[in-house]
Amino acid sequence: MNLQGKWTLVTGASSGIGEQFARQLAEKGSHLVLVARSESKLNNLASELSKKHGIQAKVIALDLSKESAPSELYQQCQQLKVDIELLINNAGFATHGLFEQVSGERQHEEIMLNVAAVVSLTHLFLPSMLRRNSGTVINVASTAGFQPLPYMAVYGATKAFVLSFTDALSWENRERGVKFFAFCPGSTDTDFFKVVGTESASVGKKDTPERIVKLALRKLAQGKTYFVPGMQNYMGAQLSRFVTRKQSLRIVGGMLKPR
C-alpha cells in the first residue's frame, strides 16, 4: 500500500493507537488529517510530524460522539480539497460497571462514538474511494468484539458491531478496489483505562501502541482482513469456539467483575 503523497484521516489521533497510526504513516510519506477533541495536542503532533517528515498535516478538532460531527468532518475535508485514501476509525472509549449504575448519557455517547460515527464516516468517505477504485478503511475493533462482556456490556456490543460491520463490508467490496481491515487489539498501554476509570477492566499483559500498529500495518499490506495482535489475545478471541456460551460468560465475567 503506497501512501506517499496521499491523505490519511485518523480519528482519536491525539494519543495512544491513533497517535501511533499518525506517526507511522507520516514516516511512510502520507499526508494526515488528524481528528480528536484536543486541538492543542493535535496541533503539536501536526507540527512535529510536518517538520520531521515533510508531510502536510491538517487538524480538525471535533467531538465525534455528537450526531452532526461526522458530516461536519466530511464537509471540512471537502473544503480542504483532500481526497482520503486511508480512513482510520480509531476513536472510541469504554465504560465499566453494573449496566444500570453507569451513566445512561455516558453509555449513549459510547454508542455514538464507537458505532454511529464509524458507520457515518464510512458511509461518507466510501463513495469517493469507489469512484477512484482505490482506498482503505481501518476500523479499530477489539478483542472485546469476539464475546459478550459482563460489566462492560455496551463496550463489548459496540466492538462486536464494528467487527461484524467491517467483515461484511470487506466482502461487499472485495472486487471494487477498496479494502476493509478490522484491527482488534487487546489490553494496550494507552489512556484507555484512565477513561474507563478502572484498571480492573484490563485483562492480560499490556502491549505497546507502537508495536501493535506496526504489526497491523504489516498485516494489512499482506492482504489480511482482520488482525488480533498477540497469541494470548488471539486465543482469548477464539474462546467461544472451545467452550459453551455460559462458560465463556463465567470466565470473562470473573475477569471483569468490579473489585
Retrieve residue 9's grid coordinates: 484521516
Single out the catalytic residue among 74, 155, 226, 234: 155
Helix axes 117-132, 153-172, angle to 10 degrees: 10
Retrieve residue 187's grid coordinates: 489490553
> Is 234 marked active-site?
no
Residue 67 one-letter amino acid: E
Name the one residue in this structure whose C-alpha cell is 488480533.
Answer: 228
Comparing CA positions, the residue from 73, 53, 100, 78 lying closest to residue 12 is 73
Q: 3-state SS of the chain?
A: CCCCCCEEEEECCCCHHHHHHHHHHHHCCCEEEEEECCHHHHHHHHHHHHHHHCCCEEEEECCCCCCCHHHHHHHHHHHHCCCEEEEEECCCCCCCCCHHHCCHHHHHHHHHHHHHHHHHHHHHHHHHHHHHCCEEEEEECCHHHHCCCCCCHHHHHHHHHHHHHHHHHHHHCCCCCEEEEEECCCCECCCHHHHHCCCCCCCCCCECHHHHHHHHHHHHHCCCCEECCCHHHHHHHCHHHCCCHHHHHHHHHHHHCCC
**Catalytic residue annotation:** 155
